[in-house]
């Protein structure tokens, strides 16, 4: 049996599994903490195949990410000196992290929202928020808003586009990310005036 057929068979088994939602939550946790591979690769096909659980899938993906964000924040808050260098070198560079830390201190809430939506490793925002002792409440609110926009946005696309959602997302991904980034930067700019 070819690898592609085996993968398709395992994916179908996962989609119909009674553990699908809990497994998705774990996958979302892992994606937000240690596996910098976008969850969308499995999320959109899963939403298309299990459209009757569309909103629950988006909720569980968001929940897994928020648990991961809390873990990442705690890691930065309590263990930055011990593991910070490894995380920075794995997901970024020391110079990039220093820039992130500066932005976290100056524009924390909007910065977390931005990094939570656009496709960059969210691990950096979590670690920086914890390392700078940014408000945990504000961090969790911003992370929840950002990841809800990301995952429920996908659910809305799947709801309206159905089986064409994956193709539509792939075709317009860059354009959509640019528009979202401009909107967030505009909101960020307005916020900096107040």
**pLDDT tens digit sequence for 157-192:** 888 877 777 776 667 666 665 665 565 556 555 555
List, for residues 117-132, the tens digit of each pLDDT value: 765 667 777 888 888 8
- Are the C-beta atoms of residues 139 and 112 closer than 8 Å to each other? yes
Residue 80 CB neighbours (<10 A): 18
* Structural domain includes residue 26: yes
Question: For residue 108, what pLDDT band results from cuts at 50, 70 and 90?
Answer: confident
* Structural domain includes residue 73: yes
* Structural domain includes residue 12: no
* Structural domain includes residue 6: no
Using alpha carbons, list the distances in angstroms from residue 32 to 27, 125, 135, 136. 9, 10, 19, 17
Question: For residue 3, what pLDDT band results from cuts at 50, 70 and 90?
Answer: low
Whole-angstrom distance, CA of residue 175 vs CA of residue 142: 23
Q: Which residue has the tokens 């979202």?
A: 180
Note the pLDDT of residue 193.
47
Note the pLDDT of residue 137.
93
* Structural domain includes residue 13: no
60 versus 178: the higher-pLDDT residue is 60
* Structural domain includes residue 7: no
* Structural domain includes residue 153: yes
> What is the number of structural domains in the chain?
1
Question: For residue 140, what pLDDT band results from cuts at 50, 70 and 90?
Answer: very high
Q: Which residues form the domain of 163?
A: 20-193
Note the pLDDT of residue 10.
66
Q: Give percent of the chain above pLDDT 70.
A: 73
Note the pLDDT of residue 91.
66
* Structural domain includes residue 5: no
């Amino acid at each position: 049996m070819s690898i592609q057929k085996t993968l398709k068979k395992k994916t179908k088994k996962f989609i119909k599994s009674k553990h699908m939602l809990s497994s998705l939550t774990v996958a979302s946790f892992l994606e937000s903490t240690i596996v910098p591979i976008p969850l969308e690769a499995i999320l959109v096909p899963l939403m298309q195949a299990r459209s009757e659980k569309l909103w629950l899938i988006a909720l569980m993906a968001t929940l897994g990410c928020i648990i991961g964000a809390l873990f990442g924040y705690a890691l930065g808050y309590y263990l930055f000196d011990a593991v910070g260098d490894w995380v920075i070198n794995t997901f970024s560079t020391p110079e990039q992290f220093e820039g992130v830390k500066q932005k976290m201190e100056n524009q924390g809430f909007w910065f977390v929202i931005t990094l939570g939506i656009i496709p960059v490793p969210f691990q950096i925002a979590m670690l920086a928020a914890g390392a700078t002792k940014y408000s945990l409440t504000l961090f969790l609110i911003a992370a929840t808003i950002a990841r809800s926009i990301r995952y429920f946005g996908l659910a809305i696309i799947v709801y309206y586009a159905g089986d064409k959602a994956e193709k539509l997302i792939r075709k317009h991904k860059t354009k959509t990310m640019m528009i979202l980034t401009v909107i967030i930067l505009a909101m960020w700019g307005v916020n900096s005036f107040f």
